[in-house]
């Protein structure tokens, strides 16, 4: 054995200890169906005893796969895309795949093409695009031709696999909760309208109000940041002639909290507020924030499952949609008579 000599064991050493050929060891590692169960068990026992780790480069020569997924991320500094990337990385690692990611920068057309070129040079088996903006998908669709590709996006796209949390339904849950508390004038502080998620949430807010025969007032558009929420509440809501606000994300909701408090408006006594995302800090807002939770862990798992199925020649669903969940906390209450 190689134990104690400071160098890792080789496949040939595993083969010698198990009394088989190195080709048989390779077949066991790669799950070949023709190996007898007793032989497979003997080889696996030796692998565990000597702590053999297959060389990924050598395995790639045999399987013609790198077990590597390339991920292009648009706006990774934002909570949603960043949380999605972490979930994909975790799920890929559990499935025996590695992830190489590249973030699209300010010059988005050039950067997107460069990102795909860089990932293709790494010998990836599939491409995942975390694309909150429709232009990201448009820029990357042609470049990834011939490679299994999945876009994490709320847009319907028949040319590639997609996965997303149902943004519209999440917004409907938020507004239906407020309607159930008696609110009829519900303002929407929206995200940037070039973001597909922002559009989906705006559509859900509008649809829920229209279903209740309520004419929506024009939304106010922010930029996802707490600063923009603060500016909206401090400078653009005078007078406060509504009873509730649905904010398109939790950061803007935090800014709205601050801006309203500066003006002496109380949450939820005067205005109820609902956010979106369920940031880890949302439960620590004062009052604790009612919000819509996106299950990024499940999104990552389903994304990786679909990608691996595509790599292996299976038939994953063209569109995977994860249901959101309303988390009711202290920032909403019944409308005052």
We report the CATH number of the domain holding residue 45 as: 1.10.260.40
Is residue 232 in a domain?
yes
The whole-number pLDDT of residue 46 equals: 87
CA distance 46 to 251: 53
* 3-state secondary structure at position 87: helix
Query: In the numeric block, which tokens belong to residue 115?
Result: 């990102």
The span from the CA of 192 to the CA of 259, in Å, is: 20
Could you tell me if 231 and 120 lie in one domain?
A: no
* Adjacent-strand bridge partners of 291: 327
Q: What is the mean pLDDT of residues 257-266?
A: 94
Residue where one domain finishes, among candidates 63, 78, 103:
63
Domain co-membership, 280 together with 183: yes
Global pTM? 0.78
Angle in degrees, CA 171, 173, 175, rounded to 5: 70
In which domain, by residue range, is 162 found?
68-166+296-323
Give me the CATH number covering residue 84: 3.40.50.2300
Each residue's pLDDT tens digit, 78-103: 788 889 999 999 999 888 889 998 88
Q: What is the pLDDT of residue 169?
A: 98
299 or 43, which is more confident: 299
Confidence of residue 23 (pLDDT cuts 50, 70, 90): low
What is the rounded CA–CA span in Å between residue 104 and residue 136?
9
> What's the mean per-residue pLDDT of the chain?
86
Query: How do strand 291-293 and strand 325-327 relate by DSSP bridges?
Result: antiparallel
DSSP letters, 10-30, are: PHHHHHHHHTS-HHHHHHHHT
What is the model's pLDDT at position 94? 87
Q: What is the pLDDT of residue 337?
A: 79
138-142, 204-208, 289-293: which has the minimum mean pLDDT?
138-142
Whether 5 has a pLDDT exceeding 80, the answer reads no
Looking at the fold, whether 252 and 279 belong to one and the same domain comes out as yes
- C-alpha 207/C-alpha 214 separation (Å) is 10
| Mean pLDDT for the stretch of residues 109-126 | 76
- 301 vs 118: which has the higher pLDDT: 301
Mark whether 184 and 290 lie in a shared domain: yes
**Number of compact structural domains in the chain:** 3
Query: Does residue 337 form part of some domain?
Result: no
Beta bridge partner(s), residue 322: 165
CB-side neighbour CA atoms (13 Å) of 168: 14
- Whether 97 and 160 share a structural domain: yes
- Both 53 and 99 in one domain: the answer is no
Helix, strand, coil content of the chain in percent (nearest 5): 45, 15, 40
67 and 98 Cβ atoms separated by less than 8 Å? yes
The answer, yes or no, to whether residue 156 has pLDDT greater than 90, is no
Cβ(50)–Cβ(106) below 8 Å: no
- Whether residue 300 sits in one domain with residue 160: yes
Residue with the bigger pLDDT between 271 and 49: it is 271
Please state which of the ranges 12-16, 85-89, 263-267 shows the lowest mean pLDDT.
12-16
Question: Is 79 found in the same domain as 26?
Answer: no
Quickly count helices (H) and strands (E) in the chain.
12, 12
| 159 shares its domain with 304 | yes
54 domain-assigned = yes
CA distance 278 to 165: 13
Q: What is the pLDDT of residues 204-256, one digit of tens each?
A: 999 999 999 999 999 999 999 999 999 999 988 878 889 999 999 999 999 99
- For 193-209, what is the mean pLDDT? 95
At 141 the pLDDT is 65
pLDDT over 60 at 109, yes or no: no
Mean pLDDT over residues 307-332, rounded? 93
């Amino acid at each position: 054995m190689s134990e104690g000599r400071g160098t890792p064991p080789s496949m040939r050493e595993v083969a010698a200890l198990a009394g088989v050929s190195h080709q048989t060891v390779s077949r066991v590692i790669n799950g070949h169906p023709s190996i007898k169960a007793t032989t497979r068990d003997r080889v696996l026992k030796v692998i565990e005893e000597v702590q053999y780790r297959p060389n990924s480069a050598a395995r790639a020569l045999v399987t013609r796969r790198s077990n590597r997924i390339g991920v292009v991320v648009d706006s990774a500094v934002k909570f949603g895309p960043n949380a999605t990337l972490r979930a994909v990385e975790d799920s890929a690692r559990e499935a025996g795949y590695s992830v190489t990611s590249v973030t699209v920068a300010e010059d988005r057309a050039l950067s997107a093409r460069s990102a795909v070129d860089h990932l293709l040079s790494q010998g990836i088996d599939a491409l995942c695009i975390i694309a909150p903006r429709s232009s990201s998908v448009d820029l990357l669709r042609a470049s990834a031709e011939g490679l299994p590709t999945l876009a994490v996006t709320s847009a319907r796209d028949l040319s590639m696999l997609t996965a997303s949390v149902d943004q519209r339904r999440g917004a409907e849950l938020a507004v239906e909760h407020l309607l159930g508390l008696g609110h009829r004038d519900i303002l929407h502080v929206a995200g940037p309208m070039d973001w597909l998620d922002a559009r989906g949430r705006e559509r859900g807010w509008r649809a829920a109000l229209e279903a209740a025969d309520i004419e929506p007032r024009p939304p106010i558009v922010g930029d996802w940041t707490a600063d923009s929420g603060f500016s909206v509440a401090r400078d653009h809501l005078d007078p406060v002639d509504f009873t509730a606000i649905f904010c398109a994300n939790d950061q803007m909701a935090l800014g709205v909290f601050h801006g309203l408090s500066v003006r002496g408006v109380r949450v939820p006594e005067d205005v109820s507020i609902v956010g979106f995302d369920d940031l880890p800090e949302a439960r620590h807002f004062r009052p604790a924030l009612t919000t819509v939770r996106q299950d990024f862990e499940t999104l990552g798992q389903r994304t990786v499952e679909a990608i691996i199925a595509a790599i292996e020649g299976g038939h994953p669903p063209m569109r995977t949609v994860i249901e959101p969940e309303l988390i009711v906390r202290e920032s909403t209450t019944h409308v005052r008579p």
